[in-house]
Structure 1
Amino acid sequence: MRLEDLRLLNEERSARRAAILVTELGGEGRRVVREAEIVGDPLAEHLARALRSGKSGLVEADGRPVFLTVQVPPVRLVVIGAVHISQALCPMAAALDLGVSVIDPRTAFATPERFPGIDLVAAWPDEAFSGPLPPLDRYCALVALTHDPKIDDPGLVAALRAECFYVGALGSRKTHAARVERLSGAGLSADAIGRIAAPIGLDIGAVSPAEIAVSILAQIVARRRSGDAAR
């Protein structure tokens, strides 16, 4: 690998941006395509598909074998609220290799006993994002589960402004209508607010906290693989 290619890949990795090393087999062609450059690339369709899957592999372009080495930032899941659904959701998400953090200022709920092995931040979301947690980005998913606007709304605002690939919020349609009014008052556009999955999760008839957690995680995976994360 050329030193310049390695430098570019390292830069993109440090900035949590995706990149793909394109190697033309049987020839000397090798180049790095950064995430923002994919749309205008001659191999855009192949590159976008590889980015959605997150897997490296061999493709054929114009009759030529090309190997795509995919570098995608690890996906993070930020959970607002140390509630029963979160207790079921966190181990499921960890099993999918998502980096999981739980934010809740209510120290009676955010305890290691209730969330063993999970990164717990007993703080308000604004404090968490400006302090112990890394910044949100397009490779983050955020779910707001407390039903308390004072806790949920700051997390939703931060996630929408960071263009997280998935933003979900628990609550009925009536609850969400009131949420839309509050977020509009906070200066968010209708398009941005429209990106919130609410009611949260795929409609599978979920009732128990574990079933709701399954529906949320399934929706996150579907959104991630649909290409929204790549965009």
Structure 2
Amino acid sequence: MPARFDSRFEATLSTLRAQGVPFAIATVVRTVDATSAKPGAKAVVLPDGTIAEGWIGGGCARSAVGKAGAAAIREGRPQFISLRPEELLAAEGVAAGDERHGVRFARNGCPSKGSMDVFVEPVLPQPRLVVFGAGPVAMALCDLAGRFDLHRTLAAPGLTDGAAEHVQDGFALEAGALGQRYVVVATQGKGDEAGLRAALASGADYVAFVGSRRKFATLAERLVASGVPLEDIARVKAPAGLDIHAITPEEIALSILAEITLCRRAGGREVGHD
């Protein structure tokens, strides 16, 4: 890349990282015959498939690369696409959209009839764990989560200290925040309903409640009576965590982090509730 172009590219990456916006970097790794982009060319792809910066070719390539970038971000895994003219795809017995051995094929409709292979790698913000509560389970969960590459927020009314990157007084959360977010309501009798309301309003990928099924059922009735949609209530994992017969706060924390790990590695697919 020319120096000025390279500086714009790096500035775009820095801005997106600072804002916590997920994106993908598409890199041309191989070309055959005439193509407008050459090996080493790069582009930044946003979650909606828009190319924000860089150059990987004209309209023939941008659409396929944009789709691959959006898929990489959505699924949290790299994509490898091979753009080839229709005649070459047919000769090799594949069609646009087919995938073989980790390579997804796309049609290059440009008059140049060139081929191009592109590696698309997602760059995702650090997942965020928000724990509501100040009791033994909340503290054990925040402590253990420090080993799981999670940005931790510990929140409860009047809270001023805790083992987390961010400690918050109260349950208010930003709705629709970018990146993966997991909210665990471990209030254990001290603000259960308020914590659940805030967790559901956050739009988090995972919402769990530390407590018995009976206790959650009582809270759910009150929430529904106050206008909270049933489909929102159905999203809550209660009791929180995988069933490992946990008893101590540390064991309960382990079961919750195991379930969060399962959710993270499911590639956006919903993890079943008990």
Q: Above 0.5 in TM-score?
A: yes
Residues 94 and 100 in structure 1, CA contact (< 8 A), matched pair in contact too: yes
Distance 1:111 1:5, change over 3 A: closer
Q: Which of 181, 191, 199 is 1:140 aligned to?
A: 181
Tell me if 1:60 matches 2:103: yes
Residues 29 and 119 in structure 2, CA contact (< 8 A), matched pair in contact too: yes
What residue in structure 2 maps to residue 36 of structure 1? 48
Aligned mates of 1:154, 1:213 — CA distance in 2 = 21
What residue in structure 1 maps to residue 147 of structure 2? 95
One-letter code aligned to 1:66 = V
Aligned length: 214
Deviation by residue 1:54-89 (Cα, 9 ceiling, x = unmatched)? xx6866333964322321111111111111112221
Distance 1:64 1:191, change over 3 A: farther
One-letter code aligned to 1:79 = V
Shift of 1:229: 8.4
SS in 1 for 2:218: helix
More displaced 10-residue stretch of structure 1: 181-190 or 168-177: 181-190
More helix by share: 1
Where in structure 2 are the equivalents of 1:77-226 lying within 5 Å?
Answer: 77-105=129-157, 110=159, 112=161, 115-116=162-163, 119-121=166-168, 123-126=169-172, 129=173, 136-148=177-189, 151-226=191-266
Residues 142 and 163 in structure 2, CA contact (< 8 A), matched pair in contact too: no
One-letter code aligned to 1:52 = G
Aligned mates of 1:159, 1:7 — CA distance in 2 = 34
SS in 2 for 1:26: strand
What residue in structure 1 maps to residue 21 of structure 2? 17
SS in 2 for 1:35: coil
Distance 1:43 1:138, change over 3 A: closer
Q: Which of 102, 111, 121 is 1:69 aligned to?
A: 121
Residues 183 and 207 in structure 2, CA contact (< 8 A), matched pair in contact too: yes
Structure 2 gap segments, 5+ residues each: 32-36, 51-63, 81-101, 106-114
Shift of 1:44: 6.8
What residue in structure 1 maps to residue 110 of structure 2? none
Per chain length, whose mean CA-contact separation is higher, i.e. which structure has more relative contact order (CA < 8 Å, sep 6+)? 1
Aligned mates of 2:207, 2:23 — CA distance in 1 = 24
Residue identity over aligned pairs, in percent, reads 30
Shift of 1:143: 0.6
- The higher radius of gyration belongs to 2
Aligned mates of 1:36, 1:186 — CA distance in 2 = 35
One-letter code aligned to 2:28 = E
Aligned mates of 1:173, 1:60 — CA distance in 2 = 46
Structure 1 gap segments, 5+ residues each: none
One-letter code aligned to 2:68 = L
One-letter code aligned to 1:73 = P
Aligned mates of 1:7, 1:117 — CA distance in 2 = 30
Distance 1:45 1:13, change over 3 A: closer
Aligned mates of 2:253, 2:18 — CA distance in 1 = 31
Aligned mates of 2:132, 2:163 — CA distance in 1 = 17
What residue in structure 1 maps to residue 61 of structure 2? none
Distance 1:135 1:48, change over 3 A: closer
TM-score, normalised with respect to structure 2: 0.64
